[in-house]
């Protein structure tokens, strides 16, 4: 009889939305230290001083008291995307790593012209279980809803 091996996978969550605002209004919020300006789950987003001269580190404090520190891995104002990873968390996370990428595209034609397509992906290490993956899915859905509200509100104020 063969020995059973534990199930292993690399979990990925991909959520997307069409936001009824031009790309420039949505892109305005896609800075790690600005996420508290739109995401209702975060009470505070701030740069962590003195950690690195070469890398941006940002701390998010969630309204439930959890705190994570993020390292910005990549940020492109030309291609409109940001990639970041969790480097520290209190309480400790039940998995070893996650890398997030948020990418924006301007919708330029058709019935959705003038809007922005947003895609948020998160790739988890193979020690993340299905509960982690499901939780991540719903958190990203909520964040995209909040991003949509913030960008649409900014657009409405601009039009006044």
Query: Quick one: pLDDT at residue 56?
Result: 86
Q: What are the phi and psi torsion angles at 101 (to 5°)?
A: -135, 130
* Mean pLDDT score, 60-80: 96
Query: Quick one: pLDDT at residue 1?
Result: 47
Q: pTM, whole model, 2 decimals?
A: 0.90
* Mean pLDDT score, 19-43: 96
Q: 84: which 2 tokens?
A: 């970041």
- Flag whether pLDDT at 43 surpasses 70: yes
Count Cβ atoms within 10 A of the Cβ of residue 101 and give its class: 0-12 exposed, 13-18 middle, 19 or more buried: middle
∠ CA 96-90-141, nearest 5°, is 70
């Amino acid at each position: 009889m063969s020995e059973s091996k534990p199930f292993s996978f690399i979990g990925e969550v991909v959520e997307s939305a069409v936001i009824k605002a031009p790309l420039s209004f949505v892109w305005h919020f896609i800075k790690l230290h600005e996420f508290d300006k739109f995401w209702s789950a975060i009470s505070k987003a701030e740069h962590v001083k003195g950690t690195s001269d070469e890398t941006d580190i940002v701390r998010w404090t969630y309204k439930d008291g959890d705190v994570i520190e993020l390292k910005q891995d990549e940020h492109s104002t030309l291609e409109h995307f940001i990639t970041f990873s969790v480097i520290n968390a209190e309480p400790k996370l039940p998995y070893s790593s996650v890398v997030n990428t948020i990418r924006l595209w301007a919708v330029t034609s058709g019935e959705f012209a003038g809007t922005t397509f947003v895609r948020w992906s998160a790739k988890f290490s193979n020690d993340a279980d299905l509960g982690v993956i499901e939780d991540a899915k719903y958190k990203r859905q909520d964040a995209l809803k909040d991003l949509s509200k913030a960008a649409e509100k900014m657009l409405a104020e601009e039009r006044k």
